Structure 1
Amino acid sequence: MRRQDQKEDQVRRMLDVPHPQVPADLAERAAERGGRMLRRRRALRALVMFVLCAAVVAFTVWVVIAEPWQVPSTETTPPLDGP
């Protein structure tokens, strides 16, 4: 017997048995679970957006304060004022 025939026979045997009863509140539970998943997804998206905005603000503040595009001064040691 070919492998595909074996799989078809297994599927037919599974479908021949009586189907189990579906709980009456299955739709309500599925809707509640879906609502929870949506709320979690929205909260996570809001958190990611907040962290992203905070990172942009922090980078902007650093750029304004540090001015990394300017060339550093050439004086690396203080001048010698000796006796």
Structure 2
Amino acid sequence: MKRPGRREDHVRRMLDGPHPQVPADLAERATERGGRILRRHRVARALALTVLCVAVAAFMVWAVVVQPWQVPPAETTPPLESW
């Protein structure tokens, strides 16, 4: 069998040793931080959706005004052959 590596020995010693004290308000701080992160994500998502809707509306207005699907009128006149 293979002998465990130095890292594994170090981790085993750390886990066997005394555990540090956990702050009493750790759960409250984690809950507050998680709530802030969720609110930021919600605001960012709503902002992105709003920007997307405005961009689609602007594109629709542009398309109705410019009508890019129509062939542009000819800028030169056809040659006269009957003269």
TM-score by structure 1 length?
0.83
Structure 1 residues without counterparts, runs of 5 or longer? 78-83
Structure 2 residues without counterparts, runs of 5 or longer? 78-83
Aligned length: 76
Q: CA RMSD in A?
A: 1.7
Deviations 1:12-69 (A, max 9, x none): 1111221000000000000000000000000000000000000000000000000000
- The one-letter code sitting in structure 1 at the alignment partner of 2:26 is L
The residue aligned with 2:81 is none
State the shift of 1:10 in Å: 1.1
The residue aligned with 1:12 is 12
SS of structure 2 residue aligned to 1:49: helix
The equivalences for 1:1-83 within 5 A come to 4-76=4-76
Aligned-pair identity (%): 68
SS of structure 2 residue aligned to 1:31: helix
My pick for the range that moved more, 67-76 or 21-30, is 67-76
SS of structure 2 residue aligned to 1:59: helix
TM-score by structure 2 length?
0.83
